[in-house]
Amino acid sequence: MGVILLVLLLALVLGGLGFAAHVLWWIAVIVFVAWLIGFGIRSGESSGGRRRWYGRW
């Protein structure tokens, strides 16, 4: 009985980690797309001046 509970617990933990990883991938994709859009907007704005898109570092 203990082994069955341990296997079920392990399956729940791994399933939860898989779901969390899936959600993190979607968040990463959304952030990447937002970064690309911001990169495109910033590079289009700076026509003429030599201002860089990432600001002054």
Q: Read off the pTM.
A: 0.55
Tokens of 9: 């617990």
Say whether 25 sits in a helix, a strand or coil. Answer: helix
**The pLDDT of residue 1 is above 60:** yes
Angstrom distance (rounded) from CA 6 to CA 12: 10
Tokens of 34: 């937002």
Angstrom distance (rounded) from CA 36 to CA 44: 12
Q: pLDDT tens digits for 9-56?
A: 888 888 888 888 888 889 999 999 988 888 888 766 655 555 555 555
To 5 degrees, how large is the angle CA 31–CA 36–CA 42? 120
Angstrom distance (rounded) from CA 57 to CA 54: 8
